[in-house]
Amino acid sequence: MSKNYDVIIAGCGAAGLYAAINLPRELNILIICKRDLPLCNSSLAQGGIAGVYNSPSDNIQYHQNDTLIAGSFKNNVEAVHTLVSEAAQDIERIIELGVDFDKNPDGTYHRTLEGGHSHHRIFHHADATGKEITTTLLENVQKLSNVTIMENTMMCSVKQTKTGYSAFLKLFDDTYETCNCHFMILATGGIGRVYQFTTNSAIATGDGITFAYEMGAKIKNLSYVQFHPTAFNNRATRECFLISEAVRGEGAHLLNCKKERFMHNYDERLELAPRDVVSHAIVLESRKQNSTDFYLDISYKDSEFLKKRFPMIYKNLLEQGYDLTKEPVPIFPCQHYLMGGIDVDNNSETSLPNLYACGECSHTGVHGSNRLASNSLLEALVFSRHAANSIASRLADVPKDFEEAEFDAHVGAPRIPKGVRTETRKILQNCYFVIPDKKAAAEGFKRVKEIRDDLINGGYFMDADFVLAKSIVTVAYIILGEVME
C-alpha cells in the first residue's frame, strides 16, 4: 500500500465520494471508510434532495427564503445563496452519473413537499434517496484508477506536518499504518452517537470534528443540534428508524396521546412547520398531557399510493408490527442532524491550510440553527465540489516531498474504563434534548470534562473503543461548553 497521497478523504458518504469524483484524475487519492462501504448517514437519507432545477413555478429566491426562515435567520447568507444557486448543476451532474429520481407519467421529475418548503422541490427516489445517491456515487468512484478505498479502517489520529497532514490508521487486521498527504478532506458525518437515541448510523461519533479540534481548527455552533420530530418510537433501540418528513409532506397528521391533532395550538403551518418547531410542539404537548405517546397518521390516504410512495418505511414499520396504511404509528423526537461543526469558508477550507471539511461534520453556515428538510444532501454535493475545485487550483504550489508525523498507539497499555460512552450519552440526552436544561448542562459539563481529561492523559491503548469514546466525549465537551457561554 502506498503511504503517500495527494489527497486523503476521511469518509465514504455523499460528500467524500463526490469530492473524489470532482478532483483531478492525475491526483493519487485515498478514501478511508470507517466500517462497511454502505454504512453512512448519507445512505439513510429518505426524503430527497432539495433544489430548483427545471422548475417553472419555483425559483432560487424562494428556496433561499425557506432556508433562512427554517434556520431562524442565523444562516450565512452568502453560503445559502451558493447552495441554492448551484443546486441545479449538481442535481444535473448526479443524474448524468446515473442517479434515478422518480418521474411523473409524462416523464418530468416528480417533486415532493416537505416541512418548511413553500414549493414542491424535493427530488427523490421513492423513500430511499440517500441510498440511491451514495450507491451511484460509489459505483462511479470504484471505476477511478486514481482512487484507493480502504474499508473497515479507523482513523485514530491526525497531525499537521510541514507538507500537509499525517493520518494514523488502524487497519481491518488490527495493524497500524501512517499515511501522509498534501491535502485532507474530512467528510466524517455527524455526531448522533453522542446521544442515547438517534436516527444516525453507528459511525456517527464526531471523529472528524474531534481531530480538527485537537489540531486547533475552529469549531463553530456545535450546539446547533437538530431533533427530528418523527422518529419511530419503540422505546427500545438506540438507533431509531426515521419516518421521513415526506410523509407529513403527503398529508400525515400528528396526534397526541388522545389521538387528537394538536399542531394548530402551536403553529399555523401545522404539521408542515420546520423540524425544530414541530419537535418543540411535541415536547410541550407531552408536558401538557403528561405523556410521551405520540403518533403519525396517514392511514386515510389510498393504501396502494402509500405502499408505492413509501416502500421502505412501509416495510420497516410492518416489521415492527405497524401498518402505515391502516393505523397511526408511534413517534417521538430524536437526535437527527448537526448544523454546526468544523468551521469552513465558501471553498470548504477550515481555519488550517489545506484541511477541508464537507458534509455534516462541517459548518458552512447554510443551515442556521435548524436545517431545512432535504438541504443536507445538497450541501454535501455543492461544497465538496468546492473543496475539490479549491484543491485543483493549488496544485502548482504543492511540495514534492511528504513529511510523516509520529504516533503512539500505546500497545500493551490498559484499555479505557467501561461505561464512558454510555455515561456521556445519558448526560447529553438528559440536559440537551429539544428544550435544554441549563442547570443540568452545567453539571454535565463538569463531569464530561473530568472524563475527557482522563482519556487524554491516561495513556490508554489506542484501540477502537478509545478512539470512539474520545470523539464522543470531546463532542459533548464542546457542545456543553457552548451552552455554558
User: Could you list the active site residues?
Assistant: 275
Distances (CA, A) of 382 to 259, 358, 363: 42, 9, 13
Report the 10 Å Cβ neighbour count for 345: 16
384 Cβ contact partners less than 8 Å away, ≥ 6 residues apart:
14, 15, 16, 18, 19, 22, 185, 187, 348, 358, 359
Q: Which of 408, 21, 299 is nearest to 187 (CA)?
A: 21
Strands (E), 276-416: 294-297, 329-338, 341-343, 355-357, 362-363
340: Cα separation from own chain's centroid: 10
Long-range Cβ contacts of 172-177 (<8 Å, 24+ apart): 176/407, 176/409, 177/1, 177/3
Determine the Cα–Cα distance for residues 296 and 233; give it in Å rounded to an integer. Answer: 11
Contact, 247 vs 310, CB < 8 A? Answer: yes
User: For the chain, how far is it from start to end, CA to CA, in angstroms?
Assistant: 46
448: Cα separation from own chain's centroid: 23
Distances (CA, A) of 406 to 168, 352, 403, 455: 9, 20, 10, 19
AA identity, residue 274 = P
261 Cβ contact partners less than 8 Å away, ≥ 6 residues apart:
253, 254, 255, 270
Determine the Cα–Cα distance for residues 44 and 241; give it in Å rounded to an integer. Answer: 9
Place of cell 397511526: 328
446 exposure class (CB count in 10 Å sphere: 0-12, 13-18, 19+): exposed
Determine the Cα–Cα distance for residues 461 and 451; give it in Å rounded to an integer. Answer: 16
- The number of residues in the chain equals 485
179: Cα separation from own chain's centroid: 26
Determine the Cα–Cα distance for residues 205 and 154; give it in Å rounded to an integer. Answer: 12
